[in-house]
Structure 1
Amino acid sequence: FNTCAIVSNAGALNGSNLGHIIDSHDLVLRFNHAPTAGYEKDVGTKTTIRILNSQVVSKKHFKFLKNKMYTGIKILVWDPCNYSSSLEQWKEKPDFDVFTPYIKHRRSKPRTNLHLLDPRVLWTLWDFLQAHTSVRIRPNPPSSGFLGIALLLPHCDKVRLFEYIPSLRMTPRCHYFDREVDTSCTFGVWHPLAAEKLLSLVLNEEDDFTTFQTGYITISGYNKFKCSS
């Protein structure tokens, strides 16, 4: 892909008018149950991939098995494990019951491109993040956003992340689609969000106006990334 967009769920997307820019990308990645209907002007309409955490898949009120939001696209589902857990240990005791709805979805919607992440990958990303952070970070798996970056960098010439780095529109609202107020959604309590965002900012190729006023950063994919000597 030439250009890929990662659309956060941040409340700062409200009033951003970024929808047309987001939809201009070859691939658009979204997270969890974030809607586009009713928010097209700010977040666009295109969805190529959704990354879903195991709560969205397992809790009935998210309607994973019924909502059309989860059909006709590529879906990657993840559930965390302990740092030292084997795959078998995780399968015996996942954080949430991800396997039952996963199997039901595969059987009822066989055309949906649905995948389940090996949870050990999350700790590989955590190791990378810790290796590039000067202080000790929280020993919890990285966020879906950081997973999205890792997923797309091998496949996209340019990856643009919308409101991953907070712009001047930053708000205490967690999501653009609800009224929940919690600043930890931006800076993190469980996920090591601050470390993720600082590393992403180091890799950012946009100027300050685009980053903090318009509201997105750009990172070159692996095949375009140039390391300084």
Structure 2
Amino acid sequence: MIVLDSLLPCLRHYIRQSSQLLLLVLLVWMLLFFAVFSYFTDSQVNQLHRTTFVFNSESQHSTHVQRSSRAIMASHNVPWGMFAERRGTFQRKQVFQPPRAREEIHFRNFGKRRVEFRKNVMKPPETEFNTWSVVRGLWKGQVSSKLLGQRLQKAKNNYILSNEHKVFYKGQRKANKGRQEILCQIKEQAQLRTLNSSEQPFAHLGFQQLVPPQLQQAYRTCAVVTSAGAILNSLLGREIDSHDAVLRFNGAPSKGYEKDVGSKTTIRIINSQILANPQHRFNSSLIYKNITLVAWDPAPYNIDLHKWYQNPDYDLFNPYITHRKNFPAQPFYILHPSFIWKLWDIVQSNTLENIQPNPPSSGFIGIVLMMNLCEEVHVYEYIPSMRETGLCHYHEKYYDAACTFGAYHPLLYEKLLVKRMSTSFEEDLKKKGKVTLPGFSKINCAL
């Protein structure tokens, strides 16, 4: 009993120490648990943040690409740029099905084929290929799509594979035609044609009362002023205004840019987006008043007019009919799809490479239009001068090589063909970006 009494204090001390040790171990375990829990919780939060950042970045990139294509389209009409974006749902008939997005890039606007205007200033991107090797090749009339960057080559190949207009070219190809042979080919095959009341469904729509008299040759010397950014600081305005007639494209303004692009406008080519998209203010803007208007919209390659009328790229027919009724004195035409696709056939027939199976650019359409109407045609900055910077349009701060060399439209091949028809000296191309072409009335193909 005495021994037990003597051991009790020791036992109590041992139990007290064990309890403290157990509490210490428990505390350490709890601290370790919270540390591990916090580590994994923070990792998940950070991962979520990174995922959100990537998603937002990709969304912003996607938005940028879509805007790009629209700009392109508007540019060379583009409108309409790659990039599937030229298409929207502006003022479509109820029976229309929303068409696919187009450049839509790329590029139509696009691109059209041109095509919507950007407000944000964008800086020139890093050069993705040697731009000047392509420009010099155009000056000399010797260039290939192989000189383009991977992005533009990929866009071109994707359009060839998709072939949305069901193009099936059956003609011959010859890449070594002489200047006179090309001029005679284009004179024979590209006679101007606009919609009238001779075909259905337009005969039943009363186009006989709507359509003005056919456009005919009326000018001696004409200027075709592209919307290319390279025309800035050119000081060509006075020379441009000296011509009997001046052709401009889409919504390209002259006000504020007179010293470079001139102030005179005689004819304006507009793609169907200008009519359908309220943003372009077709009904109210002064740039569409007191001039001759020529509208166009791509139709199926097989020229199915009924299908085209029911489902154009953009609804141009309703605005056209309304405008003709409200302003019957203003000359306003719609180009016949057969004219558009004949131009494409001519471009394809003069190169062994497969070109984009999309309608030609507004620039090329405008050049051939004026060759029908003028004795001599001077084209400015269609083939780039030494001022080329990658700027799409002189009135917009947006840069993309597709505006100059094409993605949706076969621009590179069009420009090469125009150079082969030109009588200009290389000095004119370098300093002015000017090409001189004879009108159809001056092309003698009798021999």
TM-score w.r.t. structure 1 length? 0.96
How much is the aligned-residue C-alpha RMSD, in angstroms?
1.4
Contact in 1 for aligned 2:274/2:280 (Cα 8 Å): yes
Q: Which one of the candidate residues 21, 26, 38 is aligned to 2:244?
A: 26
2:366 is aligned to: 148
How far off is 1:227 after superposition? 6.1
Alignment of 1:106-121 (within 5 A): 106-121=324-339
Measure the CA separation in 2 of the matches of 1:130 and 1:74.
30
How far off is 1:154 after superposition? 2.4
In terms of fraction of residues, the more helix-rich structure is 2
Q: Residues 147-171 of structure 1, C-alpha deviation per residue, up to 9 Å, x if partnerless?
A: 1122111221210100000000002
Measure the CA separation in 2 of the matches of 1:203 and 1:227.
14
Contact in 1 for aligned 2:383/2:435 (Cα 8 Å): yes
Structure 1: 4+ residue segments shifted above 4 A: 226-229
1:173 is aligned to: 391
AA at the equivalent of 2:260: D
Alignment of 1:1-229 (within 5 A): 1-225=219-443
Contact in 2 for aligned 1:87/1:118 (Cα 8 Å): no
**Structure 1 residues 199 and 33, CA, compared in 2 at 3 Å: closer, same or farther?**
same
Contact in 2 for aligned 1:19/1:45 (Cα 8 Å): yes
Measure the CA separation in 2 of the matches of 1:86 and 1:68.
34
Runs of 5+ unmatched residues, structure 2: 1-218
AA at the equivalent of 1:158: E
Measure the CA separation in 1 of the matches of 2:430 and 2:441.
27
Q: Residues 104-126 of structure 1, C-alpha deviation per residue, up to 9 Å, x if partnerless?
A: 22122222111111222211111
AA at the equivalent of 2:267: I
Measure the CA separation in 1 of the matches of 2:445 and 2:235.
34
Contact in 2 for aligned 1:10/1:176 (Cα 8 Å): yes
Measure the CA separation in 2 of the matches of 1:227 and 1:163.
28
Contact in 1 for aligned 2:271/2:296 (Cα 8 Å): yes
Q: Residues 93-149 of structure 1, C-alpha deviation per residue, up to 9 Å, x if partnerless?
A: 111111121122212222211111122221111111111122111100111111112
Contact in 2 for aligned 1:65/1:104 (Cα 8 Å): no
- Secondary structure in 2 aligned to 1:57? helix
How many residue pairs were aligned? 229
Contact in 1 for aligned 2:303/2:337 (Cα 8 Å): no
Q: Residues 24-81 of structure 1, C-alpha deviation per residue, up to 9 Å, x if partnerless?
A: 0011000000000000000001000000000111100100011111111100000101
In terms of fraction of residues, the more strand-rich structure is 1
Contact in 2 for aligned 1:51/1:75 (Cα 8 Å): yes
TM-score w.r.t. structure 2 length? 0.50
Runs of 5+ unmatched residues, structure 1: none
Identity %: 46
- Secondary structure in 2 aligned to 1:223? helix
How far off is 1:226 after superposition? 5.0
* Greater Cα radius of gyration, structure 1 or 2: 2
Return 81-90 or 103-112, whichever deviates more.
103-112
